[in-house]
């Protein structure tokens, strides 16, 4: 059986040839979607595993219903290869098919890009997008083919049976909801919260207004929609002709997983030195600097993050497999080490490298933070 990585390589060879004439939906399914499903362990010729033109509860039909133990577990709706997959009506349609059938997961694809939605999430249909992945190397620049294959493998037959998408979805969507709640509570704290903090501190001389200000200062991940003034540690874009940028410029239309990856990195960078680290939103990436020294740059892609660090790749004893030397490769951000981060489980080692870049580039007047307890022991030996 063809592996997922081998399948991606084979399909990439056919991309240009079939894109130019613009394949209709059915040939897109036969040439691109069916081979991918087969590589993922789904037999499209066996209706017990893959039921084609599955009739939904409302009498409509969905292109593929992937089944385990004779029960549908994942719907897939295919579009022509030239379809951009951004039509809200199409997204709402496939999400509604799945939700009405009590199926958590559904995918919208044009044979090249696969958008994975959690249909039962309480949100507007486009906001139910967990992640997306593409066989097009232009859409996954900086990622190895093994990384791309791993993202596809999340909806393999084996992964679905083990509940991998359920675990990832719960982690990402719950984290997003908790973060949103904390944003609301800490930006405009209710009286009950300030009183509780004041009582816990045990110092009646501290005013509630001081506690509110401190909460805003401590909570570095402030959503711009709730802020009337420029957030602390944000660098104002120099006054010049051209567009001004904000967080929404980078997070708009990105899958929930990518947004959470970015916000975790963002919070970590700002907390390395809350009084000195500054963030600046640029056209293609977000820049973090300490004093005059840039130590981290982040670019948000549809399939993950590309992070650039001011490190010498040759000085990394055991770099992770998602790191590469870009000292002789053109790239947007500042730094010679590039990380391609596509999942939360890569953040542990990534934070070690970010800390290392910060420590090496921080101004002499700053005292680098000690390594955090959660960092892997193997990296602690090489991060100083």
DSSP per position, 12-48: HHHHHHHHTTT--HHHHIIIIIHHHHHHTT--TT-TT
DSSP letter for each residue of 85-128: S--HHHHHHHHHHHHHTT--EEEEE-SSEEEEEETTSSS-GGGG
Predicted local distance difference test score (pLDDT) of residue 169: 95
Closest CA to 106 of 149, 41, 178, 56: 56
Residues 311 and 191 in one domain: no
Q: Do 271 and 342 fall within a single domain? A: yes
Instruction: Tell me, yes or no, whether 208 and 266 share the same domain.
Output: no
227 lies in some domain: no
Shared domain for 281 and 371, answered yes or no, is yes
CATH code of the domain containing 145: 3.90.1570.30
pLDDT for the residue numbered 371: 41
pLDDT score at 180:
84
97 CB-near residues (< 8 Å, 6+ apart): 56, 58, 60, 62, 75, 77, 106
Q: Are 75 and 107 in contact (CB under 8 A)?
A: yes
Do the domain assignments include residue 358?
yes
How high does pLDDT run on average in the chain?
A: 88
Is residue 350, in this structure, part of any structural domain at all? yes
Asked if residue 225 belongs to a domain, the reply is: no
Overall domain count for the chain: 3
Instruction: Verify that 259 and 132 share a domain, yes or no.
Output: no
Same domain (yes/no): 34, 61: yes
Q: Which of 130, 154, 178 is the last residue in one of the domains? A: 154
pLDDT (0 to 100) of residue 241: 54
Asked if residue 255 and residue 209 are part of one domain, the reply reads: no
| Whether residues 314 and 191 fall in one domain | no
Q: What is the pLDDT of residue 182?
A: 86
Structural domain includes residue 224 = no
Among 119, 134, 154, the domain-final residue is 154
| pTM of the model as a whole | 0.84
Percent of the chain clearing pLDDT 90 (strictly above): 74
Instruction: Give me the residues of the chain with pLDDT under 70, please.
Output: 220-242, 362-384
Q: What is the model's pLDDT at position 230?
A: 36
Q: Kindly state whether residues 196 and 96 are assigned to the same domain.
A: no
First vs last C-alpha separation in the chain:
45
- Examine the domain organization and report whether 131 and 36 are in the same domain: yes
The whole domain housing 65 covers 4-154
- Tokens representing 260? 């959470």
Are residue 364 and residue 257 in the same domain, yes or no?
yes
Domain boundary among 154, 177, 208: 154
Handedness of CA 51, 45, 114, 166 (dihedral sign): positive
Give the pLDDT confidence score for residue 378 in this predicted structure. 31
175 and 141 inside one domain: no
The C-alpha atoms of residue 104 and residue 366 are separated, in whole angstroms, by 48
pLDDT for position 219: 72
């Amino acid at each position: 059986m063809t592996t997922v990585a081998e399948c991606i390589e084979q399909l990439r060879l056919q991309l240009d040839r079939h894109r130019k004439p613009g394949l209709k939906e059915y040939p897109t399914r036969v040439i691109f979607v069916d081979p991918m499903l087969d590589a993922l362990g789904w037999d499209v010729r066996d209706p017990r595993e893959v039921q084609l033109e599955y009739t939904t509860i409302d009498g409509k039909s969905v292109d593929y219903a992937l089944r385990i133990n004779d029960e549908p577990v994942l719907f897939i709706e295919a579009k022509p290869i030239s379809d951009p997959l951004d039509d809200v009506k199409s997204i709402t349609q496939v999400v509604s098919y799945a939700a009405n059938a009590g199926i958590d997961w559904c995918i919208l694809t044009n044979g090249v890009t696969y958008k994975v939605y959690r249909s039962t999430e309480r949100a507007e249909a486009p906001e139910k997008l967990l992640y997306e992945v593409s066989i097009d190397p232009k859409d996954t620049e900086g990622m190895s083919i093994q990384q791309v294959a791993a993202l596809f493998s999340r909806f393999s037959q084996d992964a679905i049976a083990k509940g991998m998408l359920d675990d990832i979805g719960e982690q990402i969507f719950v984290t997003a909801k908790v973060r949103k709640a904390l944003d609301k509570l800490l930006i405009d704290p209710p009286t009950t919260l300030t009183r509780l903090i004041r009582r816990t501190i045990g110092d009646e001389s501290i005013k509630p207004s001081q506690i509110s200000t401190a909460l805003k200062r401590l909570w570095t991940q402030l959503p711009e929609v709730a802020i009337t003034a420029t957030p602390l540690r944000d660098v104002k874009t120099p006054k010049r002709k051209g567009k001004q940028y904000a967080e929404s410029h980078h997070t708009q239309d990105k899958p929930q997983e990518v947004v959470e990856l970015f916000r975790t990195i963002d919070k970590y960078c700002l907390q390395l030195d809350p009084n000195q680290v500054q963030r600046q939103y640029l056209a293609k990436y977000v820049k973090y600097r300490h004093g005059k020294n840039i130590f981290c740059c982040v670019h948000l892609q549809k399939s993950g993050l590309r992070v650039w660090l001011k490190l010498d790749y040759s000085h990394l004893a055991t770099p992770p497999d998602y790191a590469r030397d870009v000292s002789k490769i053109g790239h947007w951000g500042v730094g010679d080490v590039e990380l391609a981060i596509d999942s939360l489980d890569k953040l542990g080692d990534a934070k070690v490298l970010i800390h290392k870049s910060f420590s090496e580039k921080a101004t002499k007047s700053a005292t680098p933070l000690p390594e955090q307890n959660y960092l892997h022991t193997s990296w602690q030996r090489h991060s100083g």
